[in-house]
Amino acid sequence: MTLSILDLAPISSGGTAADALRNTLDLARHAERLGYRRYWLAEHHFAPGVASSAPAVLIALVAAATSTLRVGSGAVQLGHQTPLSVVEQFGLIDALHPGRIDLGIGRSGQRRAELATANPALERRDAKIVDGLLIPPPFDWSRLAKHPHLAHYATLLQQPGARTPDFADQIDDVLAFLAGTHQAHAVPGEGADLQVWILGSSGGQSARVAGERGLPFAANYHVSPSSVLEAVEGYREAFKPSDTLAEPYVVVSADVVVAETEARARELARPYGLWVRSIRTGAGAIPYPTPEEADAHVWTDEDRALVKDRLDTQFVGTPDQVAEGLRVLRRVTGADELLVTTITHDHEDRVRSYELLAEAWERP
């Protein structure tokens, strides 16, 4: 199947982190049964509503709970760890689950600094439809990147005085450790059968590094839909064949909620806007609300503007409606694979959404 899953291990209102982690293991078993290609775990910190703070640990648990599913990170934030520690962690998992582990890597600290100094006036663009796919105006990340909470959090994720090296140099170190060509040896890790991915939200350094090193690339439509086409184009333009890939390979992410009826799907998706708002105001993802809890929020015009691009690009509806929307996304971006993420308050609804989507996607 050309569908994969991105899981944040969401904590629902009234639930606990333990509940969320048990739900992740259960969903991974369903994903394997349904034929999804891979199962990735995100890295989030300081979020009351997300339990996926240590992807390597969670990947090991998911790999042990499944037998054939590829499991990986979407993504390890390399600004918070050294290349050696990442290779050792994932090499350890690969030693017990060889040939099943994806090491997806993201660029965190440098990207945050760039966003904080960006000039949003230079990025203003109107929404457009490209061959049926909505490309919304860019979200102004500079305000969020300057939030005092984020600056404080950044100091907690690194040792005092630590400096994040250039992302390209870090990736080269990761590849050298895996290949055994680094002057130091990573054990476990050296020679591990890991598939290394780069994840990116723009056509900037992440896309270029992935392309120049001939690595597969995951572009982010579900968080940064305005720049997905630039990200894919930047990657393809920079691509050079490697021992890993002879030609570019692209995954594109999407937010999805599927139910038997459109009305039911929209009911399940109603809390999504409030949840996105909590992230974009700097508070961190709240425990995922029920539809009734979401309805109690009094929305302002500023609130609506804050989440509009995410709501407008979420795929919500019946199995056939969502499958058709995802086929448009795949066609317009030229994606080889789609990475879907679904969050609902009740775990059973999330499992059912993935079941219905898998059935619709496999139909001619």
Determine what percent of the chain is predicted with pLDDT higher than 70: 96
Whether 243 shows a pLDDT value over 70: the answer reads yes
Average per-residue pLDDT for the chain: 94
| CA atoms within a 13 Å half-sphere pointing along the CA-CB vector of 165 | 11
Q: Which of 212, 223, 196, 239 is nearest to 334 (CA)?
A: 239
Whether 158 shows a pLDDT value over 80: the answer reads yes
pLDDT attached to residue 122 = 47
More confident: 273 or 109: 273
Distance CA 323, CA 34 (A): 15
The answer to whether 314 and 341 have CB atoms below 8 angstroms apart is no
Ordered structural domains, the chain, with CATH: 3-267+315-362 (3.20.20.30)
Whether 63 shows a pLDDT value over 70: the answer reads yes
Q: Bridge-partner residues for 38, per DSSP?
A: 70
**DSSP string covering 269-327:** HTTHHHHHHHHHTTS-PPPBPPHHHHHTS---HHHHHHHHHHHHT-EEESHHHHHHHHH
Q: Bridge-partner residues for 135, per DSSP?
A: 128
Whether 113 shows a pLDDT value over 60: the answer reads no
Contacts of 141 (CB under 8 A, 6+ apart): 115, 118
Interstrand relation of 250-258 and 337-341 (parallel, antiparallel or unpaired) = parallel
Which two three-digit tokens encode residue 308? Answer: 């509009």
Q: Bridge-partner residues for 200, per DSSP?
A: 219
Per-residue pLDDT averaged across 23-39, rounded?
A: 98
Identify the helix (H) or strand (E) that includes residue 217: strand 217-219
Residue-wise pLDDT for 179-221, tens only, equals 999 999 999 999 999 999 999 999 999 999 999 999 999 999 9
CA distances from residue 133 to 55, 128, 314, 326 in whole angstroms, order as listed: 31, 8, 11, 9
Distance CA 311, CA 294 (A): 14
Distance CA 48, CA 50 (A): 6
Residue-wise pLDDT for 249-298, tens only, equals 999 999 999 999 999 999 999 999 999 999 999 889 999 999 999 999 99
Give this prediction's pTM.
Answer: 0.95
